[in-house]
Amino acid sequence: MNRINQKLIEDKKLLSIYFTAGYPNIDDTVGIIQDLEKNGVDMIEIGLPFSDPLADGPTIQDSSTAALKNGMTTELLFKQLENIRETVSIPLIIMGYFNPMFQYGVKAFCKKCQELGIDGLIIPDLPVDVYHEKYQAIFEKYGLINVFLITPQTSDERIRYIDSISNGFIYMVSSASTTGAKSGFGEEQTAYFERIGNMDLKNPQIIGFGISNNETFTQATKYAKGAIIGSAFVKHVTKYGANNIDTFVKKVLDD
């Protein structure tokens, strides 16, 4: 069973953390992954930096630009992750845009992910129907879960289509804006969370965008299996480097 599926059946609310590979320093990638697992994070999204990250807010865009300037590439990330499964057991997901994967070769990219022990991919700009028609068989051949995003604007019909071809979790974007930390969720977002909850989907949902602390993590996980923190953690490593990760995670889980 894929590690993501194993994690999803655990009797707990899940915390997933996103960070940008090669940021703040080029060699920080593995240390950050190890420290996140050590401090109780359930899943990790490793951001593959891209020059035109449409879905990302300014914090993650800036980290992506810096990582590219540091020299991060797809090849280098794969090299850094060569021995990751000797020390890390939780699910690892690569989040990135389709262009670098297409340039690498989709089949070769998926094969390499399997060899390294990557469990899934999140590709915000790969349309679900294109994935379904052209790439699903390749992903499944190499044991990779592809995670799709839905927003408050996604139609029920589209959500059910995504649910039907998914085999992990659905990334429930809390708002239609780009990524970024918010102070809390309003009535409109709460109604959206409830609407999705009432659809009785076969795949659990994990909420992302706007989760930054214990309050927003607790709010989000009332309506979903877990929550994803990205921008707030990237801000933390911008300020402290790859240090004090325990402090950040503790504030989210124990406040």
CATH number of 13-253: 3.20.20.70
User: Domain extents for the chain?
Assistant: 13-253
Mark whether 56 is an active-site residue. yes
Among residues 28, 35, 42, 56, which one is catalytic? 56
Would the pTM count as exceeding 0.75? yes
Give Cα separations from 106 to 136, 245, 250 (angstroms): 11, 33, 37
Task: Give me the half-sphere count of Cα atoms (radius 13 Å) on the Cβ side of residue 82.
Answer: 4
Among residues 28, 45, 52, 163, which one is catalytic? 45
Report the 3 state secondary structure along the chain. Answer: CCHHHHHHCCCCCEEEEEEECCCCCCCCHHHHHHHHHHCCCCEEEEECCCCCCCCCCHHHHHHHHHHHHHCCCHHHHHHHCCCHHHCCCCCEEEECCHHHHHHHCHHHHHHHHHHHCCCEEECCCCCHHHHHHHHHHHHHHCCCEEECEECCCCCHHHHHHHHHHCCCCEEEECCCCCCCECCCCCHHHHHHHHHHHCCCCCCCEEEECECCCHHHHHHHHCCCCEEEECHHHHHHHHHHCCCCHHHHHHHHHHC
Q: What is the pLDDT of residue 58?
A: 84
- The segments of the chain whose pLDDT lies below 70 read 53-56, 176-184, 255
| Per-residue pLDDT tens digits for 37-70 | 999 999 999 999 987 756 567 888 889 999 999 9
Mark whether 86 is an active-site residue. no
